[in-house]
Amino acid sequence: MKIIVGLGNPEGKYTNTYHNVGFSVVDFFAKQNGLKFSSTKCKAQICKGEDFILAKPNTYMNLSGDSVYELKKYFKVPFENILIVLDDIDMPKGKIRFRQAGSAGTHNGLRDIVNKVGVTPRLRVGIGRDERMDLKDYVLSNIDQASKVVLNQSYANACDLIEKFIAGELCQDTTI
């Protein structure tokens, strides 16, 4: 069993923001696989595939570790079978990077997971950075139309890597 956790903020006002890219990727993956998020468990919205669970924490971003801890405990899944999907301001918009381990970098949601659960594989989706804006304002800003086109392609690429992760075929660090 694998658990794929997309990071984001639960309120509707954050749906179209850069910080909710993790939610967007797992939504895209669910739609590709004909799945719907229809239940709540372990402080997260979840849906189940044949050999995986998709989760979107109901906690706010900076408390994502609470939900991931509950998911790990409830489903009795080892660290290496939990994939965290998140936005990354330090990567160019649309770039994707999978790593088995590493630091949380500048991402407070991932930092909370590392502190409460441990180091797990992660799939970072680059959102770039607008140097004219404060970091918090940027990640919570709405994604413009041109960026949506770039990010939608990265969601498709991310889904390919998620498929490989679920199949156990994604074992080395990969950047697309």
Report the Cα 171 to chain-centroid distance in Å.
18
Average pLDDT over every residue of 87-101:
93
* Residues 34/84, Cβ–Cβ less than 8 Å: no
Residues 6+ apart with CB under 8 A from 29: 4, 54, 158, 159, 162
DSSP string for residues in 85-138: EEEETTS-TT-EEEESS---TT-HHHHHHHHHT----EEEEE----TTS-HHHH
Question: What are the catalytic residues?
Answer: 19
- The per-residue pLDDT for range 150-175, each reduced to its tens digit, is 999 999 999 999 999 999 997 788 88
Domains of the chain in sequence order: 2-175 (3.40.50.1470)
